[in-house]
Amino acid sequence: MKISIDASISDLEDHQIIDILDGNCNISISDNSWAAIDSSFQYLQHKISSTDTIMYGINTGFGSLRNVGINDEDIEDLQVNLIRSHACGAGAKVPISIARLILFLKVRSLSYGYSGVSKELVQRLINMFNDDVIPVMYEQGSLGASGDLAPLAHLSLPLIGEGAVYSNDSIMDSAEYLRHKNLSPYVLKAKEGLALINGTQFSLAYLQASYVRTRQLLRAANVTAAMSIEGFNCRLEPFHEAIHSVRPGNGQPEIATFIRELLHDSAHMSEPKVDVQDPYSFRCIPQVHGATMNALNHIGQVIANERNSVTDNPNIFVEEDMVISGGNFHAQPLAFASDYLCLAAAELGSISERRLYLLISGLRGLEPFLTTKPGLQSGFMIAQYTAASIVSMNKQLASPSSVDSIISSNGQEDHVSMAANAGVKVWQIVNNVATVLAIEWQAAAQAVEMKDYPISSKLRAYLKAYRKHVSFLDQDRPLQPDFEKTKAFFNEINWFA
């Protein structure tokens, strides 16, 4: 697939984001974007050569060194020193999928023509993306204000032949990549280093990837919950349209409708029930899953706005003859959105673990721990421990980052968003939720087959497909490989088909 980047506001579909994450697309830039980029670059070069105007980060130092003037002959060295000095990342390497998205988003932001960079610089970034040569970055180091400085400095190092890149499933020195391509290290021009490391692309990429993944997991959570409803012999009345019509706008009517349609031809669900009410983790699925859907709708808008924004500093306005230093690099909107997604995703795992607990509790005709030989076998006993551990970890990770701040740069940068930390946390939470849902799904499938009664046609089809990956648990075995196979199964299924 090919994505054409344009200087006008545009949107991307989930499948396009997935293609970027998976390395299944190339990118190009439209003619009007190239024109905007070049116009901004030529304007800035003329401004530098024709006036003595002091412009932050262009002919001055950075941060608290903002008032230190830089001679024209030192401007290029200033930009190289900026990249090198800011490449202070630490911790785990950014997953290559998210690193691809960061690179894409950096190109997207520069394409608007408000950053003063050259066409050659942008083309180098595009070539790296299309060659799937992705800069190695690190998760720790950004405060989510002044841009994601440290990780984006690592993104920039390969341009000057330093740092490292992912290439062909391995890591190589950037200098080797340049030699392989017969390229010289790029010579950074005025403002280009600052344009590269200023911006919210690291924070945004983690949020964007987590958002798309959560949308997939919400679909899986709905189907998994329906399978658990079948296995636990629940009532359908809580999903009746009348209940949700009097509480509209919270996402819950859509969830209730989906589950009703999924279960509509289940012979078992139409039979009389002994229990008058079901526990909340079953009865309130539309309310809880619906709240996550509602959160996703808001978060998706925040992401779309940021993806169509220019977030480096200063910004260059050619027609107005202005170079303005501001604060578009401050990622507070992303920090809030990431924290919100932490909560919305974590709750999908929390309610899933409660349904799992009930499925293994020996209630409603099910054997304790869903074993075929209780006592001799432990079945899903410790699988629930694992889910509980993960859910507890998610609660700890969901503590908000956005209320935190710490002073940096000698007090010049005195309020920061911590959006990068929030982004890294939400990615971890989302992947944790995938594991919890996988455990519930396996247990729900076990429960349905142990009862051996007719379930809905869609669930029956899903179960048949699933058994090609993971077999019925007729005797104890290590379950960790099953969890991984179940998550792989989730990734293959179009839950709305």
3-state secondary structure 241-257: HHHHHCCCCCCHHHHHH
Q: Are 147 and 312 in contact (CB under 8 A)?
A: yes
Is residue 334 packed enough to be buried (19+ CB in 10 Å), middle (13-18) or exposed (0-12)? buried
State residue 11's pLDDT score: 79
Rounded to the nearest 10 degrees, how much is the dihedral formed by the CA atoms of 45, 177, 194, 20?
A: 110
Q: CA–CA separation, 232 vs 68, rounded Å?
A: 70
Estimate to the nearest angstrom the gap between the alpha carbon of 375 and the chain centroid: 42
Q: What are the phi and psi torsion angles at 216 (to 5°)?
A: -65, -45
- What integer pLDDT is reported at residue 281 of this predicted model? 98
pLDDT at 57: 62
pLDDT at 180: 92
- Distance, in Å, from the CA atom of 405 to the CA atom of 331, rounded to the nearest integer, reads 12
Distances (CA, A) of 462 to 223, 261, 445, 495: 9, 15, 10, 9
Given 43, 56, 166, 466, which residue is catalytic? 56
pLDDT of residue 497: 38
* CA 60/CA 83 separation, integer angstroms: 15
Provide the pLDDT for residue 239.
96
Active site residue 56: yes
Residues 6+ apart with CB under 8 A from 492: none
- Whether residue 361 contacts residue 406, with contact meaning beta carbons closer than 8 Å, is answered with no
Q: Which residue(s) pair with 27 in the sheet?
A: 3
What pLDDT shows up at residue 407?
A: 85
pLDDT (tens, 9 = 90+) of the chain, 497 residues, equals 889 988 777 778 888 999 999 999 999 999 999 999 999 999 998 888 887 777 666 766 555 555 566 566 667 788 899 899 999 999 999 999 999 999 999 999 999 999 999 999 999 999 999 999 999 999 999 999 988 999 999 999 999 999 999 998 899 999 999 999 999 999 999 889 999 999 999 999 999 999 999 999 999 999 999 999 999 999 999 999 999 999 988 899 999 999 999 999 998 888 888 888 999 999 999 999 999 999 999 999 999 999 999 999 899 999 999 989 899 999 999 999 999 999 999 999 999 999 999 999 999 999 999 999 999 999 999 999 999 999 999 999 999 999 998 888 777 777 889 999 999 999 999 999 999 999 999 999 999 999 988 999 999 999 999 999 999 999 999 999 999 999 999 988 765 43
Note the pLDDT of residue 496. Answer: 40
Q: Tell me phi and psi for residue 5, to 5 degrees.
A: -95, 130
